[in-house]
Structure 1
């Protein structure tokens, strides 16, 4: 995971990009507890095999301010699916990505915006039953409140293979939320 020099997350990077940052001396500091060990070829002169240990969390000395502090992550179907844990937020049915539908809590026809706080994952049956009504009008309750993820939450949603130290680092930056609806 790449951070800016101030410790704010920037993006997920591949190990090849991390190696390039190490060799161009752009690493400001490291924060991970896990090392990724890379082995190269053997030196023709010494016969010693090259090795590089890169950290799982690196801060860089460049202008990596891709994300501002208050940036709203793009609302995409994939991120919504991950935010809602692959569940229909009306009935609790476990959904596959292909069967998930995006449902506007306050319908767009009634002035509801297309934003994080007004969309939830839903199954086809609940989406059809709710139709063009609010949950109250349809007699339906949300299992959790929709919310706008911050950058740390978005990075957790965007990567399925997060190392334990990366997860712990991002969780410290994510707000504590009580998503249960009243």
Structure 2
């Protein structure tokens, strides 16, 4: 059995809200809450056969749906919670000092400006790092340790967070969300 991809839910104004599974999408279709569709991918769901006709039921749902409900209130100024998993995805599984590819279990959270020196535990002050780089940097700033960041830490917006949150994102969903993500130059100088 193939895995059914998650559906990108938008508010009626076109702002992304969240990922929903196919069951919730079907419920939105049947309760007539779909305002419009925006995807190029269609997901065909097949049900059982009618006892009377023998015809199998089918429903085609879009990969991107805009919904008439109060979803938009959740999308305003949402900053994703800083978790180890989200940081790992934001930084692409790399140590931001040496560029080593890390497994999730190897990744450590490193505060660019150490907390002991007033650095916050916030998106713009944390990066993924390997254990040797984290140990070497210790309780110093990168400048004090003579280390350079490969990319600057940033706070992802909702579109970026939705991209990070779905490992099985469809091409049309990715393209839609990328248009809403700011163009960033992350390379540290």
- State if a TM-score over 0.5 links the two structures: yes
Q: What is the DSSP-based 3-state SS (H/G/I as helix, E as strand, rest coil) of the residue aligned with 2:74?
A: coil
Give 1:154's match in structure 2, choosing from 146, 161, 181.
161
Task: Write the mapping of 1:11-160 to structure 2, written as runs, cut at 5 A.
Answer: 11-65=18-72, 67-160=74-167
Question: Shift of the alpha carbon at 1:42?
Answer: 1.4
Looking at structure 2, the residues matched to 164 and 69 of structure 1 have their Cα atoms a distance apart, in angstroms, of 25
Unaligned runs of 5+ in 1: none
State the superposition RMSD in angstroms: 0.8
- TM-score (norm: length of structure 1): 0.98
Looking at structure 1, the residues matched to 156 and 74 of structure 2 have their Cα atoms a distance apart, in angstroms, of 13
CA deviation profile, 1:107-164 (whole Å, cap 9, x unmatched): 0000001100000000000000000000000000000000000000000000100000
- TM-score (norm: length of structure 2): 0.94
4+ residue stretches of structure 1 with deviation over 6 A?
A: none
Unaligned runs of 5+ in 2: 1-7
Using a 3 Å threshold, how does the CA distance of structure 1 residues 50 and 68 change in structure 2: closer, same or farther?
closer
CA deviation profile, 1:39-95 (whole Å, cap 9, x unmatched): 111112222111100000001111113533322111000000000000000000000
Looking at structure 2, the residues matched to 60 and 16 of structure 1 have their Cα atoms a distance apart, in angstroms, of 15
